[in-house]
Amino acid sequence: MCSPMRRWRSQTMTTNPCCALLGPDTAVVCLSQVNYRTGRLRDMACVTRAIHEAGALVIWDLCHSLGALPIDLNGCNADFAVGCSYKYMNGGPGAPAWLFVASRHLAGAGNPLTGWQGHAAPFAFEVDFAPSATIEKFRVGTPPVLSYLPLLESLAVFERTDMDALRAKSLKLTGYFIELADGKLARHGLKVITPRNEAERGSQVALTHEHGWPIMQALIACGVVGDFRAPNILRFGFTPLYVGFEDVWAAAATLEAIMESGLWREPRFAERKLVT
């Protein structure tokens, strides 16, 4: 192992344990920038550098980042990124997935799913496949146009949104919820597992409780929609464009009331469902 690599390991292992797994036989690392369970945010620049120093490529999964915080893929020299557009991008279920390919990889990266929309001249209807030379080579078939429509409106809002201001509000929302959780919910056994350090926090807060499932079901029945991830995680996403501080207060107050009244113990909330 070369010395820069060793230096990187020692510098990054404590904050980014994933870097400890990097080795000379690592080819590609696929990693979420924000962990979907804990809400922990990774340092994209630092992790990308460590991956490159190990001689590997990185594919960032930005499902829980895009629309929630500023992202600088080119500034971090990222190779590839993928994501959905139905979480913080507000595209709704069925909204299109997306792909980022660094310009330096565009010529060499192929799309194994060859479809007419990825053709250099889709409307020429040629018999042989010739991929587009641009990012459009990653298209496959006809896009589901109706599911793009909500996204058009959402993107128009993002066009006029200052992402630093959005991030600042996001951190205030999650910070306020953590403060309320510590003050009102900890005594009911609900524990914050999302990092308190702002630099390591996405736009969600995760709490744990051994009865997380029925508690979340009761909360949803009371109009506060979070979700549950096995075995014991209650997730709360904060979309800064339209979630306000009063919403945060109301969510914590509703959860506190459910814990105090024991509403969650009603048998109807114990029933397991497909969508969590």
Ligand X SMILES: *Cc1c(COP(=O)(O)O)cnc(C)c1O
Half-sphere exposure of 52 (CA within 13 A, CB side): 11
Q: Which residue among 16, 32, 33, 90 contacts ligand X (CB under 6 A)? A: 32
Instruction: Give the Cα separation of 69 and 63 in Å (integer).
Output: 11
- The residue (of 62 and 258) whose beta carbon lies closer to ligand X is 62
- The residue (of 51 and 89) whose beta carbon lies closer to ligand X is 89
Q: Which residue among 15, 37, 46, 61 contacts ligand X (CB under 6 A)? A: 61
Specify the stretch interacting with ligand X by CB under 6 A; choose among 59-67, 180-188, 191-199, 228-236: 59-67
148 near ligand X, judged by CB under 6 A: no
Specify the stretch interacting with ligand X by CB under 6 A; choose among 61-69, 142-150, 251-259, 262-270: 61-69
Radius of gyration for the alpha carbons in the chain, expressed in angstroms and rounded:
22
Q: Which residue among 28, 45, 97, 149 contacts ligand X (CB under 6 A)? A: 97
Specify the stretch interacting with ligand X by CB under 6 A; choose among 60-68, 147-155, 182-190, 223-231: 60-68
Scan for tokens 């870097």, then name that residue: 19
Sign of CA dihedral 68, 74, 75, 81: positive
Q: Which residue among 54, 66, 69, 84 contacts ligand X (CB under 6 A)? A: 84
Own/partner pairs, 97-100, CB within 8 angstroms, 24+ separation: 99/135, 99/138, 100/60, 100/73
227 near ligand X, judged by CB under 6 A: no
Burial (CB < 10 A; 0-12, 13-18, 19+), residue 250, is middle
- The residue (of 63 and 205) whose beta carbon lies closer to ligand X is 63
- Beta-carbon contacts of residue 41 (< 8 Å; ≥ 6 apart): 33, 34, 65, 69, 195, 199, 200, 201, 202
What percentage of the chain's residues is helix, strand, coil (to nearest 5)? 40, 15, 45
Give the N- to C-terminal CA distance of the chain in Å, as an integer: 44
φ, ψ (nearest 5 deg) of residue 149: -60, -45
Burial (CB < 10 A; 0-12, 13-18, 19+), residue 113, is exposed
Scan for tokens 């209807």, then name that residue: 125
- Minimum Å gap between C-beta 62 and ligand X is 9
63 near ligand X, judged by CB under 6 A: yes
Specify the stretch interacting with ligand X by CB under 6 A; choose among 3-11, 12-20, 57-65, 231-239: 57-65
- Minimum Å gap between C-beta 34 and ligand X is 9
Q: Which residue among 9, 15, 31, 36 contacts ligand X (CB under 6 A)? A: 36
Question: In the stretch 103-142, what mask flags binding to ligand X with x, by CB under 6 A?
Answer: ----------------------------------------
Site size for ligand X (CB under 6 A): 7
* Binding interface with ligand X (CB under 6 A): 32, 36, 61, 63-64, 84, 97
